[in-house]
Amino acid sequence: MKKFLFLFLSLLFTHAAIAQLSPTETKIIEHIDSSNPQAIKLLEKIVNINSGTMNFTGVRQVAETLLPEFIQLGFNAHFEDGSVFNRAGHLIAELRGGSGPNILLIGHLDTVFAANSPFQQFKLLDNNLASGPGISDMKGGDIIILQSLRALKAAHQLDDMNITVVMTGDEELSGRPLALSKKALIDAAKWADIAIGFEDGDGKPTTANISRRGTIDWTLTVKGIAAHSSQVFSKSVGAGAIYEASRILNSFYQQLRSEPLLTFNPGRMMAGTDVTNEKSTNTGTTFGKNNVVAQSAIVTGDIRSLSLEQLNRVKEKMRRIVANHLANTNSEIEFGEGYPPMAPTQGNKKLLNLYSQISEDLGQGKVVAVNPLDAGAADVSFTANDVEMALDGLGLSGSGGHTVNETADLSALPAQSKRAALLLYRLKQ
């Protein structure tokens, strides 16, 4: 089916550009409006459940609150335990009706706010604005998924659709290994034709993500010869570990800056006679003297790239720079696992065009692509290479994410649920 999907959506977009809302679409919209108070009530309920990533009990409680909602809609839904990757687990809901493309909807249950955070409660600030931990990132997006599916059910359009919902419990702090913690997403993507993420994106209802930069960690380890500082640069001693690390970092800076939309950042550096690096806590120790040539250096950082091709090219450049070491030094660079990039494919652009047309049909105006520099990594990236089309950022508009100032615009909840519901409906046709 996937090889025909791009042509299918091209034809669908051409039709949608001139289409008025149908009676079925009107019914979908009316259901969202009438049920919006219940949606806000459910949003408040799950926001008031602390589900910081490492609060496994809280993450499970959010899942247990939402599971009956999916079951009531006819989904085969369960909670998949995450003990093998040291996280709570994921909510997975599946509906198989046999009509239209296979669609994956992506949310997450966890937040960045730990169980001991002072930021714990939903609070209504005025008629349209509310604050609370995870209200926009991304419990609001989870509610939009449910609202859209409920509206389709009310219009008798859901039962014959093919939909998988994956709400992960470790988006904010991924379990390891990623091959296990992201397996549910990757398996669903291999089944799906289209992946749609309900993160809050850049917080604006006028934008969505057709691309996200991937991110991986790197660790540079440098060795030199320890000696009295009076012998630095001599033939027998050389420049030492700190000068070699500096050469490498400066070469990264000089040779990689021309890569479009690439960022590479050394976040920590430890150097001296003896150094340690505690990866699990992002800490380390150093010992050295001003009159001793440094024997060791460790630098850790990350790379954010727009495509796998760019990432592989940059990694090879970094390896060549590291290998061209100064005399009497030796350096190695290791690349860790991370989030893959979600490249801005033609399929993704076509899906955005359809979503934007729906927004215009609803009187909400155009939706444009987010600048990849303004978009962090997200779970949708693990699906992008296995689907024909992907789109993210369809969640609840807000601001202040990851801080105690996190807020959401409640007036956007029904508006964005309508767009999502009509997107699913038109994809079904």
Return the CATH class of domain 2-212+342-428: alpha beta
Dihedral (CA of 137, 139, 142, 147) sign: negative
Secondary structure element (H or E) that encloses residue 5, with its range: helix 2-16
- pLDDT tens-digit readout, 317-374: 999 999 999 999 999 999 998 999 999 999 999 999 999 999 999 999 999 999 988 8
Does residue 159 carry a pLDDT above 70?
A: yes
pLDDT for the residue numbered 356: 98
Mean pLDDT, to the nearest integer, of 56-75? 98
Between the CA of residue 232 and those of 175, 224, 238, 251, 338, what are the distances in Å?
44, 11, 6, 21, 38
Fold held by 214-339: Alpha-Beta Plaits (3.30.70)
pLDDT for the residue numbered 281: 86
pLDDT for the residue numbered 18: 41
Look over the chain and give the mean of its residue pLDDT values, rounded to a whole number. Answer: 94
pLDDT for the residue numbered 94: 98
pLDDT-based confidence at residue 8 (cuts at 50, 70, 90): low
Does residue 143 carry a pLDDT above 90?
A: yes
Tokens for 83, please give them.
Answer: 């003990």
Percent of the chain with pLDDT over 90: 89
pLDDT for the residue numbered 366: 98
Most confident of 18-27, 60-69, 201-210: 60-69
**pTM (2 d.p.):** 0.87
pLDDT-based confidence at residue 377 (cuts at 50, 70, 90): confident
Does residue 11 carry a pLDDT above 80?
A: no
Does residue 14 carry a pLDDT above 80?
A: no
Mean pLDDT, to the nearest integer, of 198-217? 94
pLDDT for the residue numbered 9: 54
pLDDT-based confidence at residue 15 (cuts at 50, 70, 90): very low
Percent of the chain with pLDDT over 70: 96
Q: How far apart are the C-alpha atoms of 373 and 306, rounded to whole Å? A: 9
Tell me if 405 sits within 8 A of 130, measured CB to CB: no
Residue 99 bridge partners (DSSP): 161
Rg of the chain taking only CA atoms, in angstroms: 25
- Residue 186 φ/ψ, nearest 5 degrees: -65, -40
Does residue 246 carry a pLDDT above 70?
A: yes
Mean pLDDT, to the nearest integer, of 23-44? 98
pLDDT for the residue numbered 20: 83
pLDDT for the residue numbered 99: 76
pLDDT for the residue numbered 306: 92
- pLDDT tens-digit readout, 78-108: 999 999 999 999 999 999 988 789 999 999 9
| Sequence ranges of the domains in the chain | 2-212+342-428, 214-339
Classify residue 89 by its DSSP letter: E
Q: How far apart are the C-alpha atoms of 72 and 272, rounded to whole Å? A: 62
